[in-house]
Amino acid sequence: MGALLFALNALLLFSELAFATHTGGTWHYKFDVKLKSVKRLCNRKNMVTVNGRFPGPKIMAREGDRVVVEVANNVQNNVTIHWHGIRQIQTGWADGPAYITQCPIQTGQRYVYNFTITGQRGTLFWHAHVSWMRATLYGPLIVLPMQNASYPFGQPDEEVPITFGEWWNVNTEAVINQSLQTGAGPNVSDAYTINGKPGPLYNCSAKDTFKLKVKPGKTYLLRLINAALNDELFFSIANHTITVVEVDAIYIKPFNTKTILIAPGQTTNVLLKTKPHYPNAAFFMSARPYLTGLGTFDNTTTAGLLEYEKPNSSFPSTNLPIFKPSLPALNDTPYAANYSQRLRSLANSQFPANVPLTVDKRFFFTIGLGADPCPKNQTCQGPNGTKFSASINNISFVLPTTALLQAHFFGQSNGVYNTSFPNNPPFPFNYTGTPPNNTFVSHGTKVRVLPFNTTVEVVLQDTSILGVESHPLHLHGFNFFVVGQGFGNFDRNKDPAKFNLVDPIERNTVGVPSGGWAVIRFRADNPGVWFMHCHFDVHLSWGLKMAWVVLDGKLPNQKLLPPPSDLPKC
């Protein structure tokens, strides 16, 4: 164990000393948000980065440790950073979504994110959480098991973070601005990336290819992260089977597959066992989207290379044959459904699945797209001359101009939010059949209040208004259990009988099936204001979001702590 710790510290010392120090159980990082000129495809642009790196630096910590990240904003944009999947128990001030838990860090300002990692270990990531800034501001967040603990799947020989992203040749803020203005869908990305590199299947891009160099007969833990903005991805490595062992920093019952599916906001740990002997070949590892919505999407493929180290110099090193994986069709919903059915919590005595067996509060949320009427003096380019919008229970969430958490903590909710978020949609209809004639949504900053320790069940029902689509729903502050999912309309009389309350997958982001539903359960044991939203940034921008206000409990360790003194002001 001491050796491992030494190795860790050495790693930090030699590669990341510039921004990280580790003392006792606390890890200190410095994030300098600044512009950097980056070239991809045939195009160079000035991009917002952390410390000039793309993707951003890797954050490492151990379960039980404290993480302190000082973020200095040296760009013209507003910035916040979210520690995606970290529960932030009592420390909602460090969660990061702009106007939910904090005002943005404005140009020239700093803010220190300070939190401990309790009861969690695995692969997560950090990303900006304001507008579309996360297009370039993201990086891995790796929580190692405690020093006395080990993985339930055996120690791999090496660990490699593999982060998927999306690249636009233009400034992504201009892309979302234009979409919100015209009402049309935003311009799609120009490439997908693996660790910031699009790979050889794009123009001017062969030199920007991620290469994983491996030795035969070893086991590699690949920490896969989907940081793309608007696309779920299939991923596969040619001629190799991988073993899925963890999702969203929760150990699962291992299973073998050729292809995984990963939605934005999700993480997946897989074991890659390399071939026993040098294969005299190279292999693509490829990702391309799983697409369900209507409209235009980036349907390109990113590829990296799996390269075996030559056993000796007599083997040829150039012109090796390259094998390509076959990925499911872009719209292969049966594959997606079958894959998600295979995910089961480990649910053993060391890592139990604490599924709430009784439910205090039930909610039925319709999620999907809708429209806003075109302003009188404008022409709009959304469906039938309207503007695209998105909603939960027909409410398109409006961000306030100050942070909800501040308003809540200081008892100043008046004029900021109201607590009337509905338990059910305004009227029932055949959610996945012929849509109602009126597709317009309402707008508001509405939240739902939950007493401390309430057990909650939410049916997430996709709608066919403007087309069915798989939506990756993400909840801040909690993991939830996905106790059921299916296609069509959720049936309150029949479907609960089929719920899995024994070993359902526990995670923080669920892909709600296209034209179907998913049912989640969680225990509201973390006081604060917690965002729940679609992790497609385009739907997030259009309003597919809401917030839960979880009240303090009676005991001191059940209360939201006071805000740090440097909390940004609006």
Which partner in Cu ion, ligand NAG, none is near 539 (CB below 5 to 8 A by kind)? Cu ion
Smallest distance from the beta carbon of 210 to ligand NAG, in angstroms?
A: 20
Burial 179-212 (b: 16+ CB within 10 A, else e): bbebbbbbbbbbbbbbbbbbbbbbeebeebbbeb
DSSP state of 179: H
Smallest distance from the beta carbon of 273 to ligand NAG, in angstroms?
A: 14
Smallest distance from the beta carbon of 510 to ligand NAG, in angstroms?
A: 23
Q: Is 320 exposed, middle or buried (0-12, 13-18, 19+ CB in 10 A)?
A: middle
135 Cβ contact partners less than 8 Å away, ≥ 6 residues apart: 165, 166, 168, 172, 229, 537
3-state secondary structure (DSSP) of residue 496: helix
Smallest distance from the beta carbon of 65 to Cu ion, in angstroms?
A: 33
What dihedral angle (degrees, nearest 10) is formed by the CA atoms of 294, 297, 299, 300?
180
- For ligand NAG, the closer of residues 334 and 436 by Cβ is 436
- For ligand NAG, the closer of residues 16 and 525 by Cβ is 525
Smallest distance from the beta carbon of 213 to ligand NAG, in angstroms?
A: 17
Which partner in Cu ion, ligand NAG, none is near 182 (CB below 5 to 8 A by kind)? none
Smallest distance from the beta carbon of 506 to ligand NAG, in angstroms?
A: 17
98 Cβ contact partners less than 8 Å away, ≥ 6 residues apart: 78, 80, 104, 129, 130, 131, 399, 403
The string of DSSP codes covering 231-242 is: -EEEEEETT--E
438 Cβ contact partners less than 8 Å away, ≥ 6 residues apart: none
The string of DSSP codes covering 467-484 is: ----EEEEESS--EEEEE
Smallest distance from the beta carbon of 106 to ligand NAG, in angstroms?
A: 5
What dihedral angle (degrees, nearest 10) is formed by the CA atoms of 171, 175, 178, 180?
-130
- For Cu ion, the closer of residues 197 and 539 by Cβ is 539
Query: To 5 degrees, how large is the angle CA 506–CA 476–CA 569?
Result: 165
CA distance 566 to 563: 8
Which partner in ligand NAG, Cu ion, none is near 279 (CB below 5 to 8 A by kind)? ligand NAG
Smallest distance from the beta carbon of 424 to Cu ion, in angstroms?
A: 20
- For ligand NAG, the closer of residues 133 and 260 by Cβ is 133
Which partner in ligand NAG, Cu ion, none is near 106 (CB below 5 to 8 A by kind)? ligand NAG
Which partner in ligand NAG, Cu ion, none is near 433 (CB below 5 to 8 A by kind)? ligand NAG
Nearest CA among 404, 239, 218 for reference residue 321: 239
349 Cβ contact partners less than 8 Å away, ≥ 6 residues apart: none
Smallest distance from the beta carbon of 364 to ligand NAG, in angstroms?
A: 15
Burial 287-316 (b: 16+ CB within 10 A, else e): bbbbbbbeeebbebbbbbbbbbeeeeeeee
Smallest distance from the beta carbon of 29 to Cu ion, in angstroms?
A: 31
- For ligand NAG, the closer of residues 63 and 248 by Cβ is 63
Which partner in ligand NAG, Cu ion, none is near 148 (CB below 5 to 8 A by kind)? ligand NAG
Asked whether the CA dihedral 92, 94, 95, 100 is positive or negative, the reply is: positive
CA distance 521 to 356: 7
- For ligand NAG, the closer of residues 123 and 463 by Cβ is 463
Which partner in ligand NAG, Cu ion, none is near 437 (CB below 5 to 8 A by kind)? ligand NAG
Asked whether the CA dihedral 80, 112, 99, 62 is positive or negative, the reply is: positive
Q: Where does this chain bind Cu ion (CB under 5 A)?
A: 471, 534, 536, 539
- For ligand NAG, the closer of residues 369 and 547 by Cβ is 369
Which partner in Cu ion, ligand NAG, none is near 423 (CB below 5 to 8 A by kind)? none
- For ligand NAG, the closer of residues 219 and 331 by Cβ is 331
Is residue 335 within 8 A of residue 341, CB to CB? The reply is no
Beta bridge partners of 4: none
Nearest CA among 509, 543, 557 for reference residue 227: 509
Q: At 77, list the tokens.
A: 């944009």
- For ligand NAG, the closer of residues 99 and 220 by Cβ is 99
Which partner in ligand NAG, Cu ion, none is near 331 (CB below 5 to 8 A by kind)? none
Q: Where does this chain bind ligand NAG (CB under 6 A)?
A: 68, 78, 103-104, 106, 112, 114, 146, 148-149, 170-171, 173-175, 177-178, 187, 239, 279, 281, 296, 299, 323, 330, 375, 377-378, 383-384, 430, 433-434, 436-437, 439, 453, 466, 489, 525, 553, 570
> In the bound complex, which residue of the shown chain has the CB atom lying closest to Cu ion?
534
Strands (E), 359-466: 361-372, 387-392, 395-397, 442-444, 447-450, 454-462
Which partner in ligand NAG, Cu ion, none is near 243 (CB below 5 to 8 A by kind)? none
Nearest CA among 252, 271, 270 for reference residue 342: 252
- For ligand NAG, the closer of residues 75 and 244 by Cβ is 75
Which partner in ligand NAG, Cu ion, none is near 299 (CB below 5 to 8 A by kind)? ligand NAG
Smallest distance from the beta carbon of 208 to Cu ion, in angstroms?
A: 29
- For ligand NAG, the closer of residues 195 and 292 by Cβ is 292
Smallest distance from the beta carbon of 536 to Cu ion, in angstroms?
A: 4
Which partner in Cu ion, ligand NAG, none is near 534 (CB below 5 to 8 A by kind)? Cu ion
Is residue 554 within 8 A of residue 526, CB to CB? The reply is no
- For ligand NAG, the closer of residues 480 and 509 by Cβ is 480
Count, residues in the chain: 570
Is residue 340 within 8 A of residue 511, CB to CB? The reply is yes
Smallest distance from the beta carbon of 450 to ligand NAG, in angstroms?
A: 12
- For Cu ion, the closer of residues 104 and 511 by Cβ is 511
Which partner in ligand NAG, Cu ion, none is near 536 (CB below 5 to 8 A by kind)? Cu ion
Query: To 5 degrees, how large is the angle CA 510–CA 530–CA 33?
Result: 90
